[in-house]
């Protein structure tokens, strides 16, 4: 059953909370001031000048206001939108679902968020979104969500001795003081147990966007995958913005209805909403056959990546090939012993003239991750992906990812798989009861498979792999990053040899300490290992 646009209305659970906590004081007039500055022969046009300063007559002030609104509408309609990027707005959000975060707030590059982590903070029972259902459908939904929460806590109990065994295998010196490390073990156990939690699970966060992004949010808030919650939350954000500066209403467009979006139009006109059945299952099977046993498969890259990077390095330095060979140029850009900026904690690669030469090489991967791992992957906003919309991953059959450690204990694996089976039983039952795809999707577990293609230039992929090859990174995304680094090394050996975790890069740069994580040290001297020998369970 395809979704249709739903009017803004309350959910049955605690409504999302939205507070505007920081903002530019006069965003609308600031946008006009920045536009006028582009054509000002007398210097910067101050925001206060846009509607007139003190001492102006009413007639002159009226003309100023007319000019202000004329400019604002004109540049907006013409698409000159950089003026709207200066003003930023910081929101505190609470009781929003993980589905909403993944499918909307974090599905684009132009934002910043700091949200509560399910890896490190135990989820409390009852904190999940309940859509406006009734009767048997509501009973089925609530029973499933409550069971998922209970199974999460049960899995933590089952996983704790398994994690403890692996943890003290890595840190044998800590075993005599096991009580001291109980918290670390607990966090590792709940990191895995969270895979059974529903996408309805609540989060709280700070979320900062520009004025332009907020206007885009409102325009497309009724898109896949959670249009009711999206419109509800974004309306509260826009209401807060208009209370702060009512003038923004001058250029605010109404939301585009879901029925007018290209994704929805395709499903209606081409397959009549059958993407959840055989069509969707065939597409998933086709993807998985191509992926094989990898988490991430390299499917495309520029044929002359290394040569173009080397030539770009020479151009930056203004030297001929006779003075700097391809090997030497690549080493100069990528070897931390030569390029010390690569061994720093602060990523300055987009500022460094030499390192920007890496932006000309690029790679494309096909990946299958769990929803929860992809929620981490998508936070690398400069390695963009074409992620699926709802009908492409809402299956009536269990389709999920198992973390590696689940295979280490039969009782854990049985409990994990049984939880998944019961969850999909409830999802199928809700479909039979006529519940929309949008509402059923909230019960999908964090483990649900997400299939997508991701591309990146070497400049930003280098930073991503540096962060995610660290043994402290989430195990699933670490495994995907290992796949990617090794495959790049096979096609571009001179580049691949420098796609390494932070500790190894810091060692090569002569930085101290080698591991930058302090008391979060993973316990493995990774900088002494070859990437092909990397192994981990937690």
Asked which of 213, 246, 270 is the last residue of a domain, the reply is 270
Q: How far apart are CA 391 and CA 45, in angstroms?
A: 49
Q: Are residues 180 and 44 in the same domain?
A: no
The answer as to whether 129 is a domain residue is: no
The answer as to whether 85 is a domain residue is: yes
Paired tokens of 38: 């582009």
Q: Are residues 34 and 146 in the same domain?
A: no
Contact (Cβ atoms closer than 8 angstroms) between residue 445 and residue 419: yes
The answer as to whether 256 is a domain residue is: yes
Q: Are residues 98 and 211 in the same domain?
A: yes
The answer as to whether 191 is a domain residue is: yes
Q: Are residues 27 and 101 in the same domain?
A: yes
Asked which of 244, 270, 296 is the last residue of a domain, the reply is 270
Asked which of 270, 298, 325 is the last residue of a domain, the reply is 270
Q: Are residues 183 and 238 in the same domain?
A: no
Q: Could you tell me which residues come within 8 angstroms of residue 13 by beta carbon, excluding any fewer than 6 positions away?
A: 95, 128, 129, 130
Q: Are residues 36 and 74 in the same domain?
A: yes
The answer as to whether 230 is a domain residue is: yes
Q: Are residues 41 and 98 in the same domain?
A: yes
Paired tokens of 221: 């808030």
CATH number at residue 248: 3.30.1360.170
Q: Are residues 24 and 145 in the same domain?
A: no
Q: Are residues 196 and 246 in the same domain?
A: no
Q: How many CB atoms lie within 10 A of CB 386?
A: 8
The answer as to whether 9 is a domain residue is: no
Query: Digits of tens for pLDDT over the chain (538 positions)?
Result: 455 444 444 567 789 999 999 999 999 999 999 999 999 999 999 999 998 877 788 899 999 999 999 999 999 999 999 999 999 999 999 999 999 999 999 999 999 999 999 888 889 888 999 999 999 999 999 999 999 999 999 999 999 999 999 999 999 989 989 999 999 999 999 999 999 999 999 999 999 999 999 999 999 999 999 999 999 999 999 999 999 999 999 999 999 999 999 998 888 877 655 455 788 889 999 999 999 999 999 999 999 999 999 999 999 999 999 999 999 999 999 999 999 999 988 999 999 999 999 999 999 999 999 999 999 999 999 999 999 999 899 999 999 999 999 999 999 999 999 999 999 999 999 999 999 999 999 999 999 999 999 999 999 999 999 999 999 999 999 999 999 999 999 999 999 999 999 999 999 999 999 999 998 899 999 999 999 999 998 8
The answer as to whether 100 is a domain residue is: yes
Contact (Cβ atoms closer than 8 angstroms) between residue 453 and residue 440: no
Q: Are residues 100 and 230 in the same domain?
A: yes
Beta-sheet strands, E only, within 87-184:
88-97, 112-115
Q: Which domain holds residue 28?
A: 17-116+202-270
Contact (Cβ atoms closer than 8 angstroms) between residue 276 and residue 396: yes
Q: Are residues 29 and 104 in the same domain?
A: yes
Query: b/e map of 453-490 (b: 16 or more CB within 10 Å)?
Result: bbbbbbbbbbbbbbbbbbbebbbbbbbbbbbbbbbbbe
DSSP 450: E
Structural domain count of the chain? 2
Q: How far apart are CA 510 and CA 516, in angstroms?
A: 13
Q: Are residues 23 and 91 in the same domain?
A: yes
The answer as to whether 1 is a domain residue is: no
């Amino acid at each position: 059953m395809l979704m249709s646009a739903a009017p803004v209305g309350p959910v049955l659970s605690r409504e999302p909370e939205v507070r505007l906590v920081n903002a530019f004081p006069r965003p609308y007039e600031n946008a006009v001031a920045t536009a006028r500055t582009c054509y000002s022969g007398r210097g910067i046009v101050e925001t206060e000048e846009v509607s007139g300063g003190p001492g102006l007559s009413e007639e002159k002030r009226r003309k100023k206001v007319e000019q202000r609104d004329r400019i604002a509408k004109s540049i907006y309609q013409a698409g000159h939108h950089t003026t709207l990027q200066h003003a930023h707005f910081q929101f505190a959000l609470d009781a929003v679902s993980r589905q909403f975060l993944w499918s909307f707030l974090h599905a684009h590059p132009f934002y910043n968020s700091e949200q509560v982590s399910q890896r490190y903070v135990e989820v409390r029972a009852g904190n999940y979104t309940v859509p406006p259902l009734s009767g048997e459908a509501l009973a089925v939904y609530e029973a499933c969500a409550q069971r998922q929460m209970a199974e999460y806590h049960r899995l933590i109990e089952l996983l704790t001795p398994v994690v403890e065994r692996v943890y003290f295998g890595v840190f044998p010196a800590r075993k005599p003081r096991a009580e001291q490390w109980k918290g670390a073990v607990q966090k590792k156990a709940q990191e895995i147990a969270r895979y059974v939690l529903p996408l309805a699970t609540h989060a709280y966060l700070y979320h900062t966007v520009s004025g332009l992004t907020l206007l885009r949010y409102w325009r497309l808030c009724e898109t896949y995958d959670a249009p009711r919650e999206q419109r509800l939350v974004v309306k509260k954000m826009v209401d807060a913005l208009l209370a702060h500066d009512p003038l923004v209403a001058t250029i605010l467009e109404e939301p585009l209805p879901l029925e007018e979006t290209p994704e929805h139009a395709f499903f209606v006109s081409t397959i009549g909403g059958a993407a959840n059945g055989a069509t969707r299952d065939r597409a998933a099977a086709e993807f998985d056959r191509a992926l094989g046993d990898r988490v991430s498969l390299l499917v495309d890259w520029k044929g002359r990546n290394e040569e173009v990077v080397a030539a770009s390095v020479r151009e930056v330095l203004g030297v001929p090939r006779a003075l700097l060979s391809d090997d030497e140029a690549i080493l100069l850009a990528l070897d931390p012993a030569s390029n010390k900026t690569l061994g720093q904690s602060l990523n300055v690669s987009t500022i460094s003239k030499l390192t920007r030469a890496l932006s000309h090489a690029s790679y494309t991967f096909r990946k299958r991750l769990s929803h929860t791992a992809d929620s981490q992957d998508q936070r690398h906003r400069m390695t963009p992906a074409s992620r699926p919309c709802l009908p492409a991953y809402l299956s009536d059959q269990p389709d999920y990812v198992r973390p590696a450690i689940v295979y280490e204990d039969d009782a854990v694996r049985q409990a994990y798989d049984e939880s998944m089976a019961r969850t999909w039983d409830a999802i199928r039952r809700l479909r039979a009861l006529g519940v929309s795809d949008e509402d059923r999707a909230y019960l999908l577990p964090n483990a649900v498979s997400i299939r997508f293609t991701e591309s990146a230039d070497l400049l930003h992929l280098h930073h991503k792999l540096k962060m995610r090859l660290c043994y402290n990174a989430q195990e699933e995304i670490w495994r995907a990053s290992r796949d990617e680094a090794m495959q790049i090394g096979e096609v571009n050996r001179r580049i691949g040899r420098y796609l390494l975790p932070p500790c190894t890069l810091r060692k090569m740069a002569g930085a101290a300490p080698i591991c930058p994580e302090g008391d979060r040290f993973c316990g493995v001297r990774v900088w002494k290992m070859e990437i092909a020998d990397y192994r981990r369970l937690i």
